[in-house]
């Protein structure tokens, strides 16, 4: 092949023939490449790497992308990759995969079990990486044929579990020029072949709060001459969640729950310090942004009433992931096109977090759930040492992402949709 179109893939087998039906094109591609993609996943699975140390994973990705004629860019810290497919100028859709593993020992007895003691891909990020790579390889081939109605950006993000690798992608300009973004996460509750979608919040924010209270301390006989710190702390612990529930829209599901409180050592002495620690979960991005300031002002008014000094340390986790309705519809349309009938289902809201929420603060997009359970088989939970997937989810994920990208690109202005693609989506 002598074509110099961006995304040309000299090393991949040239397509047998141009077939106007996307489903047939995908089926032919996956017939040829599924075993290789499963091998790629197993290699990552055997060599899990924690956030910001994913050097080997990054190297493997760069190799594969370069082989396909693409020009991957490694992020400044040396892990994570951004890679564009297709020409600049048109609409751009991004696909995100997280590439990091967890500090959990692999308990599985399989030939592809982790070879690194204490580490495993127990959140399925090896699958996410493989699925986005597979979709990228197919789309690069489409680009080479002039069948990509815009540009696709692959985002292989480090350190999702840390969390915060999404911020590194943003800092590296990963979303510059991107109109929409999509990502899939393994869902062991759904069977292979199913896609879970949800409009609005799908994962929650989870922050940590640390309250410290100080007073002069003194004898319990004379609370009026000092500051009754234990009483004040008890008021703070009960009043703060109550006041928050009346100051924030209940639809945001913002909740402050304490996990620890501590003050004092004997029955007849008022202590001079105490603490309370808890978590804040929230499903609404605006409420999440307002939460620290609001909590600080409520804390000071409660503490002021009892003449104690109180300080709040508010440690941010990730924002909620709030799916855009139009993008969710694109996921659904894509699922309906490439999956069997009735396989697009509603995903439940999760109070777990994913730093995908950072992307959706800047541009519209959607985060979907990829079914990974063998029909009728056992359900392995995420973040457990025995977590595994039915690997037939890999071609399914590739199909969903390819169809979603093409759906999104075709609906963005200036896509210049080739007519045969329109036909294939009819
Ligand atoms: Zn996880
Ligand atoms: Zn995860």
Q: How far apart are CA 170 and CA 261, in angstroms?
A: 37
Which protein residues have their CB within 5 A of the ion that is ligand 1? 123
Instruction: Compute, in angstroms, the gap from residue 124 CA to the centroid of ligand 2.
Output: 6
Nearest ligand by distance to the CA of 187: 2
DSSP-derived 3-state class of residue 84: strand
The pLDDT assigned to 379 comes to 85
Instruction: Compute, in angstroms, the gap from residue 186 CA to the centroid of ligand 1.
Output: 10
What are the φ/ψ torsions at residue 417 (nearest 5 degrees)? -60, 120
C-alpha angle 365-102-384 in degrees, rounded to nearest 5: 95
Using DSSP, how many helices (H) and how many strands (E) does the chain show?
10, 16
Q: How far apart are CA 99 and CA 54, in angstroms?
A: 7
Nearest ligand by distance to the CA of 383: 1
| Bond preceding residue 230 cis, omega within 30 of 0 | no
Instruction: Compute, in angstroms, the gap from residue 31 CA to the centroid of ligand 1.
Output: 30
Nearest ligand by distance to the CA of 162: 1
DSSP-derived 3-state class of residue 241: helix
Instruction: Compute, in angstroms, the gap from residue 123 CA to the centroid of ligand 1.
Output: 5
The pLDDT assigned to 6 comes to 40
Q: How far apart are CA 241 and CA 2, in angstroms?
A: 66
Cβ(197)–Cβ(332) below 8 Å: yes
Instruction: Compute, in angstroms, the gap from residue 101 CA to the centroid of ligand 1.
Output: 8
The pLDDT assigned to 123 comes to 97
Q: How far apart are CA 63 and CA 354, in angstroms?
A: 28
Instruction: Compute, in angstroms, the gap from residue 379 CA to the centroid of ligand 1.
Output: 16
The pLDDT assigned to 164 comes to 85
Nearest ligand by distance to the CA of 98: 2
Which protein residues have their CB within 5 A of the ion that is ligand 2? 123
The pLDDT assigned to 415 comes to 66
pLDDT along the chain (426 residues), means of 10: 38 48 95 98 98 98 98 98 92 98 97 98 98 98 94 98 91 98 97 98 95 97 95 97 94 94 97 97 93 96 96 95 98 97 96 93 97 93 96 98 97 62 42
**Largest pairwise CA distance in the chain:** 91
Instruction: Compute, in angstroms, the gap from residue 121 CA to the centroid of ligand 1.
Output: 9
Q: How far apart are CA 178 and CA 363, in angstroms?
A: 8
Instruction: Compute, in angstroms, the gap from residue 281 CA to the centroid of ligand 2.
Output: 18
Instruction: Compute, in angstroms, the gap from residue 204 CA to the centroid of ligand 1.
Output: 13
């Amino acid at each position: 092949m002598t074509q110099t179109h961006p995304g040309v893939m000299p090393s991949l087998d040239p397509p047998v023939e141009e077939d106007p039906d996307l489903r047939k094109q995908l089926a032919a591609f996956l017939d040829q490449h599924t075993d290789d993609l499963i091998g790629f996943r197993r290699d990552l699975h055997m060599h899990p790497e924690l956030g910001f140390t994913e050097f080997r994973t990054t190297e493997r990705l760069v190799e594969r992308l370069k082989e396909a004629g693409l020009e991957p860019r490694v992020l400044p810290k040396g892990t994570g990759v951004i890679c564009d497919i297709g020409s600049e100028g048109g609409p751009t859709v991004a696909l995100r995969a997280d590439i990091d593993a967890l500090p959990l020992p692999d308990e599985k007895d399989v030939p592809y079990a982790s070879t690194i003691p204490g580490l495993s891909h127990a959140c399925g990020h090896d699958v996410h990486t493989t699925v986005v790579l597979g979709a990228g390889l197919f789309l690069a081939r489409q680009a080479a044929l002039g069948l990509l109605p815009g540009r696709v950006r692959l985002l292989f993000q480090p350190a999702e579990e840390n969390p915060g690798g999404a911020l590194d992608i943003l800092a590296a300009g990963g979303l510059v020029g991107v109109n929409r973004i999509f990502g899939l996460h393994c869902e062991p509750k759904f069977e292979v072949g199913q896609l879970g979608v949800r409009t609005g919040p799908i994962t929650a924010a989870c922050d940590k709060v640390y309250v410290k209270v100080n007073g002069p301390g003194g004898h319990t006989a004379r609370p009026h001459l000092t500051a009754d710190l234990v009483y004040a702390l008890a008021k703070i612990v009960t009043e703060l969640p109550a006041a928050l529930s009346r100051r924030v829209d209940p639809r945001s599901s913002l909740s402050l729950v304490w996990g620890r409180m501590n003050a004092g050592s004997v029955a007849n002495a008022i202590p001079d310090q105490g603490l309370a620690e808890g978590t804040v979960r929230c499903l609404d991005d605006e409420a999440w942004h307002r939460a620290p300031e609001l909590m600080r002002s409520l804390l000071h008014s409660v503490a002021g009433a009892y003449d104690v000094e109180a300080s709040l340390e508010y440690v941010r986790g990730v924002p909620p992931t709030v799916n855009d309705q139009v993008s969710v519809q694109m996921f659904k349309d894509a699922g309906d096109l490439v999956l069997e009938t009735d396989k697009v289902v509603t995903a439940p809201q999760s109070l777990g977090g994913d730093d995908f929420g950072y992307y959706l603060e800047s541009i519209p997009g959607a985060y979907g759930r990829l079914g990974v359970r063998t029909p009728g088989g056992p359900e392995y939970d995420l973040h457990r040492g025995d977590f595994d997937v039915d690997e037939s989810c890999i071609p399914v994920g590739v199909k969903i992402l390819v169809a979603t990208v093409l759906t999104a690109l075709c609906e963005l202005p200036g896509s210049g949709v080739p007519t045969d693609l329109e036909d294939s989506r009819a």
